[in-house]
Amino acid sequence: CKESGEGSDEFCDCMADKADENLNDEQKEYVLAGIRGDEARATELQEEMGMENMEQVGAFMAGAFECGAAEAERQGT
């Protein structure tokens, strides 16, 4: 997250904390592949993980809005 420049340190730290709380290693790798734009690896992991794991990743990504909302509040937007 920080390497990509997609968010502030606070936003990236929030995302990392949520990932540690909610995702297994394979799911984290999938999310990171997406952030890095490694579509081939993301597709490979998606096929390996199955529907239940993908649903958990989807729930995690929906929860990321909490980090984004907190970030927007800090920035006063």
- Report pLDDT digits (tens) over 21-47: 999 999 999 998 988 899 999 999 999
Of 9, 22, 23, 11, residue with least CA distance to 66: 11
Structure tokens at 55: 């649903």
Q: What is the pTM of this model?
A: 0.76
Per-residue pLDDT, 44? 95
Give the rounded percent of residues in the chain with a pLDDT score beyond 70.
92
State the pLDDT at residue 77: 55
Is residue 34 within 8 Å of residue 56, measured between CB atoms? no
